[in-house]
Amino acid sequence: MAKRFPIANRVRELRQQHGEMTQTELGEAIGVTRQTVAAIEQRRYSPSLESAFRIARLFKVHLEDVFMWDES
């Protein structure tokens, strides 16, 4: 199994709650590629602080509501 970052996220869930937003649409909104959004959701990449804030602002939630520490 591929190594995963210890930062979990609710990006996929938040996308679905916001009108089934696609990975491409989210990527375009925060300035990354669809593949990078997929990597974030699968915990293969931890976004920069700036991108993390962009995601949280886009979904109108706090940063901690999107990303959380999870070493399990």
Residue 52: which of 35, 64, 43 has the closest Cα?
A: 64
State which of positions 3-62 bind another protein (CB under 8 A): 3-5, 27, 31-33, 35-36, 39, 43-45, 47-48, 51
Shortest distance in whole angstroms from residue 51 CB to another protein = 6
Q: What is the number of other CB atoms lying within 10 angstroms of the CB of residue 13?
A: 12
Closest to 4 measured CA to CA, from 37, 47, 39: 39
Helix (H, G, I), strand (E, B) or coil at 33: coil
Q: Closer to another protein at the Cβ: 10 or 42?
A: 42
Please state the closest distance from residue 32 (CB atom) to another protein, in A: 4
Residues within the interface to another protein (CB under 8 A): 2-5, 27, 31-33, 35-36, 39, 43-45, 47-48, 51
